[in-house]
Structure 1
């Protein structure tokens, strides 16, 4: 394993949603000898990619990595515009808000905004979930051209892996859910993938960069009735539509029913 492969492997462990990792984690998950793991981690600490906590002997992302991530966030005003919408919605509803992207067939959390409600649905930045199991994932998949969707999921008759209760079990069923999300420019999922959890989601795309972002409000199923979830979805869509029109996102510019939402 080259040094860069080792660095990638260690950083990918944080991508899974962890805040800290241990020496044993690196040995076990990267299948490294103790001496190799020790050298790798020492080099990453030296160059500020990791920070070693003396009291716990655990490793966290280092200052250089954090500053690079902050700079990347600041360099994308589109993400900041999305964040402003989510912050306002989280403040007004009390629910947890998420900004996410699609990576292959997974969604990845980019930012999380905690609401004021005493019961929160919390997934850290970097957390991944299979896209077919969530409202966020299905509405992000609705942005894919048909050939790209087929490349990622295969034939309609294929079964989806370990489909949780309430989720599509086959690619054909997923296509139907994605088509619905495309028509409605949004999606709702309650007690799907994660029992007791609900979410409403929509998307925005930046025509300049090509970046597509999912915007989501998440709640516990006992907090929100089906009718309330529908109303919450409508609130999210109304909040997103003006920005979509302003930046020239085709989904929001050309949808026949955009005007009544404003």
Structure 2
């Protein structure tokens, strides 16, 4: 059996209820030679999959596994909370609502809910777009820390943006000012930007547990639906729903923020 197969067998012992294991217990239950068991357990401990008690010498699940499980649970809980908000955004606006995350310079659609308007703006889950040119992307980028944003765009405000950028800005400094304005407003609005005829209003939350970013937006056909009254109502709706979500998950960005500015 491969090393990964044996790693899976060790982890299965803990999944079945064992809280810790001695070397002898592991060798017996795995039915492996002692030399193979020793090498396996030592390697798993070396890479953080197991911890060994310094006094009893018994093995237990490693800190790395706990961190991975915690991150998976936190991300799952965050996405569940986001989906509830997505449903309300779509139901209350009648528009297509999106849940997305950030991957480098791009947004990635995680989920889409169609509204009840006869004309909808549709992008499939998994779709990617340049983050600089969309409301969703700008909302997500505005939540990055300074080191994270520097890693993407550098520190030279006069530097040209990457050729793939669809922001409409020529320089990094122009984009940085736009993102600062989005952070101040706590939402982004783009109408007839990188996608002519399309508009969107977006805001983002960030988990205080693991730093996971999620953006939520509603999207509309600008020529048919983007009159001032609708835009103002949708803007307030996004701020209200996403802000409430941010406060619920403990996102410091959304604490003590009015329902709508």
TM-score range, shorter chain: 0.5 to 0.7
Match of 1:47 in 2: none
Deviation at 1:151, TM superposition (A): 1.7
Name the CA distance, whole Å, in 1 between partners of 2:222 and 2:129.
19
Match of 1:173 in 2: 174
Match of 1:46 in 2: none
Deviation at 1:209, TM superposition (A): 2.7
Deviation at 1:176, TM superposition (A): 1.1
Match of 1:89 in 2: 89
Moved more, 185-194 or 223-232: 223-232
Once the two structures are superposed, the pairs formed by residues 2-17 of structure 1 within 5 Å of their partners are none
Per-residue CA deviations over 1:138-161 (Å, capped at 9, x if unaligned) read 111111111221220122122222
What SS does structure 2 have at the residue aligned with 1:88?
Answer: helix
Match of 1:187 in 2: 188
Name the CA distance, whole Å, in 1 between partners of 2:146 and 2:104.
14
Per-residue CA deviations over 1:38-93 (Å, capped at 9, x if unaligned) read xxxxxxxxxxxxxxxxxxxxxxxxxxxxxxxxxx8997021111111111111121
Match of 1:51 in 2: none
Q: Any conservation in 2 of the 1:109–1:125 contact (CA below 8 Å)?
A: yes
Name the CA distance, whole Å, in 1 between partners of 2:137 and 2:259.
26
Q: For residues 119 and 205 of structure 1, do their structure 2 counterparts lie closer, same or farther at Cα, with a shift above 3 Å needed? A: same
Per-residue CA deviations over 1:170-198 (Å, capped at 9, x if unaligned) read 21111111001110111000000000000
TM-score using structure 1 length: 0.66
Q: 1:246 aligns with which of 248, 252, 255?
A: 248
Once the two structures are superposed, the pairs formed by residues 59-70 of structure 1 within 5 Å of their partners are none
What SS does structure 1 have at the residue aligned with 2:101?
Answer: strand
Q: Any conservation in 1 of the 2:204–2:216 contact (CA below 8 Å)?
A: yes
Structure of higher CA gyration radius: 2
Q: Any conservation in 2 of the 1:99–1:109 contact (CA below 8 Å)?
A: yes
| Structure 2: tracts of 5 or more residues without a match | 1-71
Per-residue CA deviations over 1:9-40 (Å, capped at 9, x if unaligned) read xxxxxxxxxxxxxxxxxxxxxxxxxxxxxxxx
Match of 2:141 in 1: 141
Name the CA distance, whole Å, in 1 between partners of 2:76 and 2:183.
25
Q: Any conservation in 1 of the 2:75–2:212 contact (CA below 8 Å)?
A: no
Deviation at 1:162, TM superposition (A): 5.3
Aligned: 1:259 with 2:258 = yes
Match of 2:112 in 1: 112
What RMSD over aligned residues (CA atoms) do the two structures have, in Å?
Answer: 2.1
Q: Any conservation in 2 of the 1:73–1:79 contact (CA below 8 Å)?
A: no
What SS does structure 2 have at the residue aligned with 1:76?
Answer: helix
Name the CA distance, whole Å, in 1 between partners of 2:241 and 2:100.
17
Q: 2:226 aligns with which of 216, 220, 224?
A: 224
Q: Any conservation in 2 of the 1:188–1:229 contact (CA below 8 Å)?
A: no
Match of 1:209 in 2: 210
Kindly tell me the number of residue pairs found equivalent between the two proteins.
187
TM-score using structure 2 length: 0.67
Name the CA distance, whole Å, in 1 between partners of 2:259 and 2:218.
22
What SS does structure 1 have at the residue aligned with 2:85?
Answer: helix
Q: For residues 163 and 230 of structure 1, do their structure 2 counterparts lie closer, same or farther at Cα, with a shift above 3 Å needed? A: farther
Query: Which stretches of structure 1, 4 residues or more, deviate above 4 A after TM superposition?
Result: 72-75
Q: Any conservation in 2 of the 1:205–1:211 contact (CA below 8 Å)?
A: yes
